[in-house]
């Protein structure tokens, strides 16, 4: 089955070392974080069913934001 839609996810980030305990004047009152999320899927054209298929095709662990590497089992 191919994934063709989009979804909304909410992610909470908590820095356990930031402002622990009673606040002090020299502590940061806010922090900025950058989160990059990537999701990919490997597919191939299946001549038997005449459509794209993901069966047996997986993203390789070395895939990055810039390059998806697929493996077939």
Confidence of residue 52 (pLDDT cuts 50, 70, 90): very high
User: Tens digit of pLDDT for each residue in 7-39?
Assistant: 677 777 766 666 566 666 776 666 677 777 778
CB-facing half-sphere around the CA of 7: CA atoms within 13 A: 8
Token pair for 66: 């810039």
Neighbours of 60 (CB within 10 A): 11
Q: Is 52 helix (H, G, I), strand (E, B) or coil?
A: strand
Confidence of residue 51 (pLDDT cuts 50, 70, 90): very high
Global pTM reads 0.47
With contact defined as beta carbons under 8 Å apart, do 71 and 58 qualify? yes
User: Tens digit of pLDDT for each residue in 56-68?
Assistant: 988 888 888 888 8
């Amino acid at each position: 089955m191919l994934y063709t839609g989009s979804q909304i996810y909410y992610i909470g980030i908590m820095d356990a070392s930031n402002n622990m305990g009673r606040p002090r004047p020299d502590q940061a009152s806010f922090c900025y974080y950058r989160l990059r999320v990537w999701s990919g899927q490997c597919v191939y054209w299946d001549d038997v069913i005449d459509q794209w298929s993901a069966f047996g095709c997986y993203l390789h662990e070395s895939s990055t934001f810039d390059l998806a590497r697929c493996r077939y089992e």
